[in-house]
Amino acid sequence: MKILAAMSGGVDSSVAAAELVRAGHDVSGVYMKNWINEENIIGHCPWEEDITDAEAVARQLGIPFRVVNLMTEYREKVVKYLIEGYQAGITPNPDVMCNREMKFGVLWDWSQEHGFEAIATGHYARKVDANSEHPASILRGADPNKDQTYFLAMMQPHQVRIAQFPIGHLLKPELRERAREFGLKTAEKKDSQGICFIGQVKMEDFLRTFVPDQPGPIVNLEGKVLGEHRGLHLYTLGQRKGHGVASPIHKQAYVVVAKRPQTNELVVAIENSDTPLLWARKATLHSISSTGAPLHEERLLQAQPRYRCPAGNAVFRPLGDGRAELEYSEPQRALTPGQICALYDGERLLGGAVFETIQYT
């Protein structure tokens, strides 16, 4: 196949490209230039270093390499979504949208114009090709500590068909060893922990560049003022640290349980197993997206409300118009409007949706 390998300059995408070359495919590397930190946001935006590393790996592999400037599209499809979401008081996920809108969206459009048949990434995910009975599908990565299928939850069936995940069968230590065997420059490079294709930039610093601070009171459930916040958009439901309110109870922290835009109040409570506004079993979802067959029928599935959070058993009840009710078998902590909920049948990714409203226990 003629495959375009999205290369970020990290070890994962480097090994993905190397595996494709070893398998005999016609591979070209590409770096998506999405951000160059023109706003001088605090933090390290290593795009020049990443391009240098990606190009060096491509040269080692003997494959063509080019940089594609997608900064305009990235601002429109990811940055705008991110900023508007936080301004509205919800918690968006730019990494999920970057995959759907950019890697397998804008970049795929570019790829088709240049004759490519598929796009490969360094995600820890596995793919099962379509057959006469089932469409192409995505399975969790073999490494449970690195599985990244959550970030692919909003992909659409046509995107799944053209996606390749060459490293999904590897554990992280195995991938590092492969990188050394290939002699790749990035073999020992540390993993990035930043925003998708932006770099080591804290979300708080990114948001404060675009959304002005709007200080207001931090209150407890009884309405007593405990402190002052810098702006509701800088806090997330379930957040234990960074709100600045010390707990009077040993080993029991204050946790953010609500944001009240009407009064600009941030609500905190001492966390325990029955903290009001913190635990919920029911929620409504909107913007349902399936990676394969449409999710039109009531069914039992596993729903993962955040990355690094276990998927819980839940009943999924379609409501029409891209909405559904989700009822977990066990209470879930800090379900948050705007966050992505990834839906699974065992290891198989069914799709995803966005939390709309939460029904607290």
Choose, from 45, 98, 309, 341, the residue flagged as catalytic: 98
| Both structure tokens of 152 | 């692919």
CA distance 303 to 306: 9
Choose, from 45, 196, 309, 341, the residue flagged as catalytic: 196
98 included as an active-site residue: yes
45 included as an active-site residue: no
Buried b (16+ CB within 10 A) or exposed e, 275-290: bebbbbbbbbbeebbb
**Three-class secondary structure of residue 355 per DSSP:** strand
Check if the beta carbon of residue 314 is closer than 8 Å to that of residue 246.
no
- The string of DSSP codes covering 174-188 is HHHHHHHHHT-TTTT
303: Cβ contacts below 8 Å, ≥ 6 apart: 311, 312, 314, 316, 326, 328, 341, 342, 343, 344
| Both structure tokens of 223 | 């309405």
| Both structure tokens of 121 | 């990434």
Residue from 67, 47, 46 nearest 58 by CA: 67
| Both structure tokens of 122 | 């360094």
Buried b (16+ CB within 10 A) or exposed e, 99-132: bbbbbbbbbbebbeeeebebbbbbbbbbbeeeee
φ/ψ of residue 189, rounded to 5: -70, 135
Catalytic residues, by residue number, are: 98, 196
